Amino acid sequence: MGYKKSHWEKHNRRQLWHTLQKPDGTITADKIETLTLTLEQLILEDKIQDDTDYHRAIRSLAEQPIDTPEDKVFTQHEFRQVVEGFKPRKAPAPDGITNEIQQLVYKGLPKTMTAIYNEFIRTGCFPTNRKTARILPITKPGREDSADPSKF
């Protein structure tokens, strides 16, 4: 039986970082400027003055001290529902741990995994590898050759 290509290999080409058109109409000069423009397009600045009432309420809640009555631990049942909801074919975290692996570990050690994540909540301390993500901008179909940073 021959090698079967993955969905990614069939439908995507390697994205090349090239020049993009800046808002003022000029073109980016190098990879750093192109990457900076792309990130500015993908990750918006968080401006407090633009907050709605809803956003102000969320900010207020985030500033409350840890261990308030709202900071309840997960029950094993709640944690199981979350883990079972993981989509198994999604890309792994930067540490290489896939959702499938997390589901298998949970099946073998449900009390331990629930306790670990509850400790994260209790202490407010989350491991660095649980706070990072790999961002892979994918060009929108038909816009591969565009210089517009919104092509992603």
Closest CA to 144 of 17, 1, 29, 3: 17
CB 110 within 8 A of CB 118: no
pLDDT band at 8 (very low <50, low <70, confident <90, very high): very low
Neighbour tally for 102: CB within 10 Å: 17
Q: Cα separation of 129 and 33, whole Å?
A: 27
Higher pLDDT, 101 or 14: 101
Instruction: Say what the pTM is.
Output: 0.49
* Average per-residue pLDDT for the chain: 78
CB 149 within 8 A of CB 40: yes
Tokens found for residue 60: 């207020």
